[in-house]
Structure 1
Amino acid sequence: MINIPIDSINQIRNLLEKAKSVLIVTGTKPDMDAISATLSLYLALSSTGKQVTVASPSQITVEFNRLVGVDKIIQTVNGSTGKNLIISFPYQEGSIEKVSYNIDNNIFNLVIEPREGYKLITPDDIKYSHSGGVTDVIFAINTSKLPDLENIYSENQTLFNSSPVINIDTSPENTQYGKVNIIETNMSSTSELIISLFSQLGINLDQDISSNLLAGIIYGSKNFTSPKTNAATFESAAICLRNGAKKINETIVNIPLTNSIPQTQDKQPKPVQFSVPFSKTSKPLSFKPQGKQTFNQFPPKNKAVPFSPKPNQVQQQSQQQNDKSAQTPSDWLKPKIYKGSTLL
């Protein structure tokens, strides 16, 4: 885990203490980490008795169906809970002459006067909707910029401009648009960041929250193989497991959990094909030498002839021995006594 700046923690704590209604949003095409972090925050804040709405502009696919609370995600925040009534109908440039209202017997009448020559507005053309529900604080998860929220932002810009936004993300492309910005680009997942936030806010983890966060950590860290994976990543995963997290491997898609090595299959030797058809009456094949085999034989060894030196060689050898004896001193073999004037 990391230590989020204490100023940011105090701001979030003060906002949550005053808030009764909370909106949690995540951007378009969210991944497992974004949905896991979003739902974990939803479960944690809902347990405190607050009215929490969670939304994403993208349709939630089946890969997230094992996350707890996934059925609570909506695609638009326009609904009966909004306080602003919106009256919509097809419009052509220059077709409206004047818009006014009057009150008659406590009835509010909105008067739309079309310009001459243009089609009249019929009841079938009119649609009603609501927007701008009361929201005390907004959490934006894994959303680099507000337009990434698509219709959630475009249809509720007044809401986003009037409500404090807490921006939580790990992307270096985040534009720091929130009143409180918690951006940690060195973390492998936003789910880790949520664990640090819960720890410093004193929010306890239950089994459902822990299971969601563990799924986000596994996905964000690419099964703990991402270069951003460090000791804090394993520590966050351990916290989830200690709080009863269940592994939701079925929801972790596009991540190889093990490195598979292709195994070589032992090839069975093919039987030898003979050109002669084989049958029970066939005689076994045999190989016979053709013709008489001859080998080269070594010639017989000659008998050794005794060596006898010639007379001249004997005379030369005896003369050499006499010369050596004449040169050798007679006392050569006698012991010698050294005489000198100094002693060593």
Structure 2
Amino acid sequence: MNESFSSLIDSASSILILLPNKPYFDQVAAGLSLYLSLRDKKSTAVSCPSPMTVGFNRLIGVNKISSELGSKNLLITFPNYDAGNIEKVSYDIENGEFKLTVVPKDGFNAPQKEQIGVNHSGISADLIILIGGANESHFPALSQKDFEGARIAHIGTRTLTSERGVMSFARPGSSVSELIASLIKENELPMDVDTATNLVMGIEDGSSNFTSSEVIPETFEMFAHLLRSGGQRQPKVKLSPVSFPQAEPVTEQIENKEEMVENPPSDWLQPKVYKGTSVS
């Protein structure tokens, strides 16, 4: 398996590392680490259909994960402009400069500058590496025609259920990060401090701090190798507890106040004579 993975990387001209939809922290750490290891060796990109949330921010290079699958083609769109107003589209090359001309129908204006959208699309990679996931539904991009002709490999702790030809590098492990670390080491791929640090965090999270039943002696050996390679253990960011005010007692405290009588009658302080009432 080691030689086949190494030859797979060597024969590829461009590599796309694809994360599953709504990935776990371990899967993101694994895919990002493989990207960091390969980026100086091959043209490599890493993509995820789901946006990266705050919980992934402690991973080094998380900003390299894109929602776009590739940039093979330049895509020009005209948002908020009725395509029915266009008469024809033509192009020309003058003095080595490409010109695209959009001609509107009579009585209509041409698209304005604020109505022009420029993006990239299309996959130029000839090798797609799937990280984690259980079946093809976790990788919705696989249904695109851009993947036709590209070789597809999968790395995970269980075999991917797929009807297409997928080269499997799945095997049991405490985490996907442990498998990626093993592949990097066994195939003598680059392992810098950032890559090792991400894998350290991925193994810790994926193995639930080594409490998983999938943790074996080799897990600790690989973890030690990552630490020796410069990997740093990073504490999880914990939200500060919210300070709540002390609850007020439900029953109201009634204060006894003496009523002050201002300007009492003139005879109020004089002695009084009280007469009893006889009861017959």
| Coarse TM-score class (shorter-chain normalised) | 0.5 to 0.7
TM-score (norm 2): 0.68
CA gap 1:231/1:178 in 2 versus in 1, 3 angstroms: farther
Q: CA deviation at 1:133?
A: 4.1
CA distance in 2, matches of 1:103, 1:208: 46
1:44 aligns with 2:40: no
3-state SS of paired residue (1:35): helix
- The one of 12, 21, 26 equivalent to 1:28 is 21
1:58 aligns with 2:50: yes
Contact 2:197–2:233 at 8 Å: present in 1 too?
A: yes
TM-score (norm 1): 0.56
Deviations 1:290-322 (A, max 9, x none): xxxxxxxxxxxxxxxxxxxxxxxxxxxxxxxxx
- The one of 6, 19, 30 equivalent to 2:12 is 19
Q: Give the structure 2 partner of residue 183 of structure 1.
A: 170
Could you list the runs of 4 or more consecutive aligned residues of structure 1 that deviate by over 4 angstroms after TM superposition? Answer: 87-91, 98-114, 119-126
Q: Give the structure 1 partner of residue 248 of structure 2.
A: none
CA gap 1:112/1:10 in 2 versus in 1, 3 angstroms: farther
CA distance in 1, matches of 2:162, 2:102: 42
Q: How does 1:261-280 map to 2 (within 5 A)?
A: none
Q: Give the structure 2 partner of residue 83 of structure 1.
A: 72
Q: CA deviation at 1:77?
A: 2.7
Structure 2's unaligned 5+ residue stretches are 239-280
The root-mean-square deviation of aligned C-alpha atoms, in Å, is 3.6
Contact 1:170–1:183 at 8 Å: present in 2 too?
A: yes
Q: CA deviation at 1:223?
A: 0.9
- The one of 217, 233, 242 equivalent to 1:247 is 233
Q: Count residues with an aligned counterpart.
A: 233
CA distance in 2, matches of 1:105, 1:236: 57
CA distance in 2, matches of 1:164, 1:237: 31
Q: Give the structure 2 partner of residue 238 of structure 1.
A: 224
CA distance in 2, matches of 1:99, 1:241: 64
Identical-pair percentage? 33
Which deviates further from its counterpart, 17-26 or 31-40? Answer: 17-26
Q: Give the structure 1 partner of residue 210 of structure 2.
A: 224
CA gap 1:121/1:178 in 2 versus in 1, 3 angstroms: farther
Deviations 1:124-182 (A, max 9, x none): 766443211422322111133444344xx27x823322221221112456437454211
CA distance in 2, matches of 1:12, 1:100: 49
Q: How does 1:1-344 map to 2 (within 5 A)?
A: 6=1, 9-48=2-41, 50-78=42-70, 82-88=71-77, 127-150=117-140, 153=141, 157-171=144-158, 174-175=161-162, 177=164, 179-184=166-171, 186-250=172-236
CA gap 1:236/1:104 in 2 versus in 1, 3 angstroms: closer
- In structure 2, what residue type is equivalent to 1:215? M
CA distance in 2, matches of 1:105, 1:168: 46
CA distance in 1, matches of 2:115, 2:24: 38
Structure 1's unaligned 5+ residue stretches are 1-5, 254-344
3-state SS of paired residue (1:249): coil
